[in-house]
Amino acid sequence: MRSAPRSLLAAICCAIALASPATAARLSAAQHAETLAIWKKMVSIPTVQGRGQMPVMADYVADLLRKGGFAVEDVIVEGSGDATTVAARYRGTGKTGKPILLSGHMDVVEARASDWTRDPFTPVEENGYLYGRGVLDMKFGNAVMVFTLLKLKQEGFRPSRDIILLLSGDEETEMLTTQRLAKQYGVAELLLNADGGGGLLDPQGKPVAFYVQGAEKTYADFEVTITNPGGHSSRPHADNAIYDLALAIDRIAAYQFPAQTNELTKAYWSATGKLVGGKLGNAMQAFAANPDDKAALATLRAEPEYVGITGTTCVATMLSGGHALNALPQKASVSVNCRIFPGVSIESVKAKLTEVIANPKATITTLGAPVASDASPLRPDLMKALRKGVDLSFPGLPIIPQMSAGATDSLYFRALGIPSYGVIGMFIKPEDDFSHGLNERAPIASIDPALLLMRSLLLDLAK
Ligand SMILES: [Zn+2]
């Protein structure tokens, strides 16, 4: 996924562009052109699950890196079909400790040519945008990481620690390759993910803020089931699985998980509150200062865009029950989808649902195998490096930490205790975010700030 901060701009009424639109630093035309060429080539490979193209993409990247000076044995293409991965090690001097990981995914969401205005796998430049499936999510990020590594190699840069590029093959679906990569490369100082974070432009194209994604909520589904001996519907009685379930659903609907903040969401509320202003902005700032502020909490929880950042949420999503029109139900069940605040265990949420439902006849099961994800700390070295890297293009632009509701590859690395940050320098307007959707497009002008940022981060964090 790509977690674009689209929601924020909708709430900003009269945002003053705090940064100068002029880019402070410039790249050579050649660097811009080479990155664009890699980006387009990647988009032209239809890496949709089931089309057998992941190995083609992996070989393309591996070939580029080897031709650019990476040792053959340092670029590992593993697995087959959609489960293909790339791991490329940029060897450091070993002066400092654990490696820095660069994370991306090669796969894209399906795109049917018949639904699109242009062929989704023929990259087209138009009015400053590149069109094609995956231009945003996330072949831009892959191109930026690959080009940056090639350029640093060409210049003879020797990092103090290893930098390892990890490209997964099934982030949009099973995430099995992510789990494998996390197992193999799960000892690292930190991870930079090009699939999260990013810059926000106002409708006039001026940058408003840069987001660093430092946390994701944990995704978990539960099923609440009530069973009953049933019987003939001509002999009804109060003991009814559907009535019991309806009561349970009522209780879930009425329950609110406690308000929560962490270092990251506090910084988010406080900075976003200043940008948004008005009643909503004031509530954000009040909530940042005091999560017990009931009025502020009520204001934020009334907004679908923001309720998820205030704590854990659970909501009924699917329902089934009964087996015949003329029989008392023997079984009724509801699926409950929870988005759990970082640091809260999946088991404790299940226990809370059990307590809220308060019916010993109800059984609650966890669906699948959810993985909890903690928030990454706002490391001073990372924040300082980001400040420097963003300033190269947009001096003084606010940098705002962000927690996303969806999952990226960072999930499995955070679960191993590796601080992980979404930091791609793609600057877009909210109305330009069509990731996963039709006619996906991305502004080509993002190449320069993104290259400057990625390069600066690596030079700083692996110096
Ligand atoms: Zn993605």
Q: What is residue 19's predicted lDDT score, i.e. its pLDDT?
A: 42
State yes or no: pLDDT of 18 exceeds 60. Answer: no
Range 104-129 average pLDDT: 94
State yes or no: pLDDT of 365 exceeds 70. Answer: yes
State yes or no: pLDDT of 13 exceeds 80. Answer: no
State yes or no: pLDDT of 137 exceeds 50. Answer: yes
Mark which of 347, 367, 387 sits at the end of a domain: 367
- The rounded Cα 127 to chain-centroid distance in angstroms is 28
Q: Rounded to an integer, what distance in angstroms lies between the CA atom of residue 200 and that of residue 449?
A: 13
Q: What is residue 9's predicted lDDT score, i.e. its pLDDT?
A: 47
Based on the fold, state whether residues 85 and 127 are members of the same structural domain. yes
The alpha-helical segments, DSSP class H, found in 214-345 are 241-254, 263-276, 278-289, 294-301, 304-307
Range of the domain at 399: 6-216+373-461
Q: How many residues does the chain have?
A: 463
pLDDT range class, residue 143, cuts 50, 70, 90? very high
Based on the fold, state whether residues 153 and 227 are members of the same structural domain. no
Q: How far is the CA of 59 from the centre of ligand 1 (A)?
A: 20
Based on the fold, state whether residues 231 and 323 are members of the same structural domain. yes
Mark which of 316, 350, 367 sits at the end of a domain: 367
State yes or no: pLDDT of 248 exceeds 50. Answer: yes
* Helix (H/G/I), strand (E/B), else coil: 292: coil
pLDDT range class, residue 20, cuts 50, 70, 90? very low
Range 339-348 average pLDDT: 96
Q: How far is the CA of 166 from the centre of ligand 1 (A)?
A: 14
pLDDT range class, residue 299, cuts 50, 70, 90? very high
State yes or no: pLDDT of 432 exceeds 90. Answer: no
pLDDT range class, residue 431, cuts 50, 70, 90? confident
Based on the fold, state whether residues 169 and 251 are members of the same structural domain. no
pLDDT range class, residue 23, cuts 50, 70, 90? very low
State yes or no: pLDDT of 86 exceeds 60. Answer: yes
Based on the fold, state whether residues 247 and 145 are members of the same structural domain. no
Residue 205 lies in a domain: yes
Residue 1 lies in a domain: no
Based on the fold, state whether residues 388 and 351 are members of the same structural domain. no
Which residues crowd ion ligand 1, with CB under 5 Å?
Answer: 1-2, 137-138, 195
Q: What is residue 430's predicted lDDT score, i.e. its pLDDT?
A: 79
Based on the fold, state whether residues 169 and 207 are members of the same structural domain. yes
Partner residues linked to 48 by β-bridges: 108
Based on the fold, state whether residues 182 and 321 are members of the same structural domain. no
Based on the fold, state whether residues 323 and 189 are members of the same structural domain. no
Residue 394 lies in a domain: yes
Q: Rounded to an integer, what distance in angstroms lies between the CA atom of residue 193 and that of residue 175?
A: 15
38-67 pLDDT, tens digit each = 999 999 999 999 999 999 999 999 999 999
Q: What is residue 437's predicted lDDT score, i.e. its pLDDT?
A: 79
Q: How far is the CA of 2 from the centre of ligand 1 (A)?
A: 5
**CATH number for the domain harbouring residue 272:** 3.30.70.360
Residue that wins the pLDDT comparison between 225 and 23: 225
Contact 447, 220 (CB under 8 A): no
Residue 361 lies in a domain: yes
Residue 382 lies in a domain: yes
pLDDT range class, residue 8, cuts 50, 70, 90? low
For the entire predicted model, the pTM comes to 0.89
Q: How far is the CA of 433 from the centre of ligand 1 (A)?
A: 12
Tokens of 65: 């890196």
Task: Please report, for residues 232, 233, 321, the alpha-carbon distance to residue 326 in angstroms, rounded to integers and kept in the order given.
Answer: 7, 5, 13
Range 135-149 average pLDDT: 97
Range 268-286 average pLDDT: 95
Q: How far is the CA of 408 from the centre of ligand 1 (A)?
A: 7
Q: How far is the CA of 240 from the centre of ligand 1 (A)?
A: 45
Based on the fold, state whether residues 45 and 148 are members of the same structural domain. yes
Q: What is residue 11's predicted lDDT score, i.e. its pLDDT?
A: 45
pLDDT range class, residue 25, cuts 50, 70, 90? low
Q: How far is the CA of 138 from the centre of ligand 1 (A)?
A: 5
Residue 84 lies in a domain: yes
Residue 148 lies in a domain: yes
Mark which of 332, 367, 402 sits at the end of a domain: 367
Based on the fold, state whether residues 120 and 227 are members of the same structural domain. no
Q: How far is the CA of 124 from the centre of ligand 1 (A)?
A: 21
Mean pLDDT is lowest, of 60-64, 201-205, 432-436, for: 432-436
Based on the fold, state whether residues 402 and 331 are members of the same structural domain. no
**CATH number for the domain harbouring residue 114:** 3.40.630.10
Residue 411 lies in a domain: yes
Domains in the chain: how many in total? 2
Q: How far is the CA of 86 from the centre of ligand 1 (A)?
A: 16
Torsion of CA 415, 419, 424, 428, to 10 degrees: 70
Looking at the chain, the whole-number percentage of residues with pLDDT higher than 90 is: 87
DSSP 8-state class, residue 48? B
Contact 268, 403 (CB under 8 A): yes
